[in-house]
Amino acid sequence: MTALLAPLALADDIEAQAACPIPAVDAGLDPVPLVVDLDRTLLRTNLVHEAILAILRHDALAIFRLLGWLLGGRAAFRRRVLAHPALDVATLPVDETLLADLTVRKASGRMIVLATTLDPALAHRLAQRFSLVDGVITTGDAADSSAARAARLAEQLPQGFDYVGSAGGDLPIWAAARRAIVAEARPDLVETLRALGRPVEKIGAAAASSRARALLKGLRLHQWAKNALVAVPLVLGGRAGEPEAWLAASAAFLALGLIASATYLLNDLWDLPHDRAHWTKRNRPLASGRLSLGLALCAVAVGLTVGLGLAASVRPAVLAGVLAYLALTLAYSLALKRVPMLDALTLGSLFTMRLVIGVAAVAVVWSPWLLTFSMFLFTSLSFAKRHTELRGAVKRMRSGKLSGRGYHTADEPVVLAFGIAAGLASIVIFILYLANEAFRHAALAAPFLLWSFPPILALFMSRVWLLAGRDELNDDPVAFAIRDRTSLGLAGTAAAAFALAAFGVPGIAV
């Protein structure tokens, strides 16, 4: 179908676009165009937030330049940010459900028009991503009211229009439209639209429930299982029967969980371009646009504030440990994750710091054997994660560099070797711990049961690396372990042995 409006590249301003003729419509087709909100509906993200993050990724010191731009007013700030070349419009997330619906309507002969408050040049770049689009209408500036934008649409489309939007602020536009189509609508918004006397059609799930699910997934609450490590020093240190020690360890557990969830979101915010280019990570809540950047930043602020407050309430040493954990996590997200081999060692260190925080929380003597064991074990699992990513990359490209990482596809054998070696070293170190330290203290009621750990650990590590070689391992070994029945069985056996070692075997005196 002929374009509704002339390409934006040929139109220097809104008036020039409005003056472009509307093409004739084939007989039998609906002559009323379907107008789709671009920057709040079809695109599942806030472009200003995307641009700010892109600028900061390019140059962290640009924060001072951004603050200077703010002094020129909100409208000027928005124009300057969106005009920055760091913004990559090619990877911005799209509402796939809505796009599929529009594709069906287009195939039936419907005319599709995008409406936006963006600068015409940027709007044109975005519109080029969608072959089904017949034209773009710039409805004014973002500061203009919805009523003003509705009037502009009515002026440029005198034959009428149907409107696809998602925000309550679009009510005046829906009121001017023939039909209201709502993407990811709240129930109250749908009822309000029906009260306007317009036919209402819904596309996709309710926005509130979608956002809540996306936030929960983005927080990665399943990763809190890692924080159970803070309780290990409590048991090995002989304080398992003290309620106050459990209370301190629980507070440290919760503080670490909140800090970790906040840093996961920060990592995903910083790594958006690479996640969107990844074959599985592109489905993450932030990368896919199901979780808004603004809501993620709010969750980060709350998580850091409450988490640090909880850590400080336990004891100063716990706060110091949590701050060190936070600093290393941020260093990893900003730089260390792109340094081959060091990235896996850093992840192993973050796991070990959970043990250190547990030691600080319950004030027991720390064991160098246990901390060394932890370093090798979790470094091995980190290499398993990288190995899985490299295997996936090898399938998709014969050679090249892993997006967002410092690895090349040719590094897979080296990562495999170091990962297996680190796993075997962790088993040997645990045996040395049992032989040299575990039986010298009276902290455990039945320490001989800890000898069940080396074979359990060997079975788990061999399973992880066996499945990694078969491409059956999830990108994240922890996420894999909590869903894998065999791994859960091994973990349950280890937990039972650990509990019996701590509290004793009924009827057996040691």
Q: What is the pLDDT of residues 459-500, one digit of tens each?
A: 999 999 988 888 888 667 777 777 888 988 998 998 888 888
Please give the Cα distance from 285 to 289 (Å, whole number): 6
* Alpha carbon distance 164, 99 (integer Å): 11
- Report the SS3 class of residue 407: coil
pLDDT mean over 287-300: 90
- Tokens read off for 381: 């699992």
How many residues make up the chain in this entry?
A: 510
Task: Given CATH 3.40.50.1000, say whether it is the number of domain 8-44+93-209.
Answer: yes
Alpha-helical runs (H) found in 108-185: 120-127, 146-156, 171-176
Tokens at 372, concatenated: 């060394």
Task: Name the strands in the sheet holding 135-138, side by side, starting at the edge strand that comes first in the sequence.
Answer: 135-138, 112-116, 34-37, 162-165, 180-183, 200-203
Alpha-carbon distance 163 to 427, whole Å?
Answer: 63
Structural contact between residues 268 and 472, judged by C-beta atoms closer than 8 angstroms: no
Q: Helix, strand, or coil here: 240?
A: coil
The Cα–Cα gap between 326 and 308 comes to 10
Q: Which helix (H) or strand (E) holds 62?
A: helix 62-70
Enter the tokens of residue 401: 């560099």
pLDDT tier, 417 (very low <50, low <70, confident <90, very high otherwise):
very high
Termini Cα distance of the chain: 85
Token readout for 292 is: 């808004």
pTM above 0.85, yes or no: no
Residue 441 in this model has a pLDDT that exceeds 60? no
The amino acid present at 45, given as its one-letter code, is T
Q: What are the structure tokens assigned to 78, written together?
A: 């928005």
Name the residue ranges covered by the structural domains of the chain.
8-44+93-209, 223-364, 367-510
Query: Could you give the CA distance from residue 388 to residue 404 in angstroms, rounded to a whole number?
Result: 15
What are the pLDDT digits (tens) for 172-200? 888 888 888 888 767 777 788 888 777 88
Structure tokens at 235: 């048991």
Give the model's confidence band at 501: pLDDT under 50 very low, under 70 low, under 90 confident, else very high. confident
321 phi/psi in degrees, rounded to 5? -65, -40
In the chain, what percentage of residues exceed pLDDT 70?
88
Q: Burial, 72: exposed, middle or buried (Cβ in 10 Å; 0-12, 13-18, 19+)?
A: exposed
Helix (H) or strand (E) holding 42: none
Q: Take residue 314 and report the two structure tokens written for it.
A: 């336990």
Tell me the pLDDT tens digit for each residue of 257-281.
999 999 999 999 988 888 888 777 8
Task: Using alpha carbons, list the distances in angstroms from residue 105 to 23, 129, 223, 291, 420.
Answer: 18, 18, 42, 27, 53
Closest Cα to residue 122, out of 18, 187, 199, 39?
39
How many C-beta atoms lie closer than 10 Å to residue 296's C-beta?
A: 23
Q: Is the pLDDT confidence value at 14 over 70? A: no
Write the pLDDT tens digit of every residue in 199-249: 888 887 665 567 788 899 999 988 898 898 898 888 877 787 889 999 999
What mean pLDDT is reported for the chain?
A: 83
Supply the pLDDT for residue 461: 92
CATH T-level fold of 223-364: Tetracycline Repressor; domain 2 (1.10.357)
Closest CA to 57 of 273, 261, 260: 273
Bigger pLDDT: 427 or 277? 427
Q: Give the model's confidence band at 304: pLDDT under 50 very low, under 70 low, under 90 confident, else very high.
A: very high
Whether residue 8 has pLDDT greater than 60: no
Residue 236 is encoded by which pair of tokens?
A: 């090995």
* Residue 112, φ and ψ in degrees, nearest 5: -110, 125
Ranges of H-type helices in 363-452: 368-396, 412-433
Contacts of residue 426, defined as CB under 8 A and 6 or more positions apart, other chains included, come to 373, 376, 377, 380, 457, 461
CA angle 256, 278, 472 (to 5 degrees): 80
If one compares 394 and 110, the residue with the highest pLDDT of the two is 110
* pLDDT band at residue 403 using 50, 70 and 90 as cut-offs: low
% of the chain at pLDDT higher than 90 = 32
Residue 193 makes CB contacts below 8 A (sequence gap 6+) with 171, 174, 180, 182, 200
From CA 303, how far away is CA 92, in angstroms rounded? 26
**85: CB partners within 8 A, 6+ apart:** none
User: With 70 as the cut, is the pLDDT of residue 25 above it?
Assistant: no
Average pLDDT of 134-145?
80
Q: Which of 362, 364, 384, 380 is nearest to 372 (CA)?
A: 380
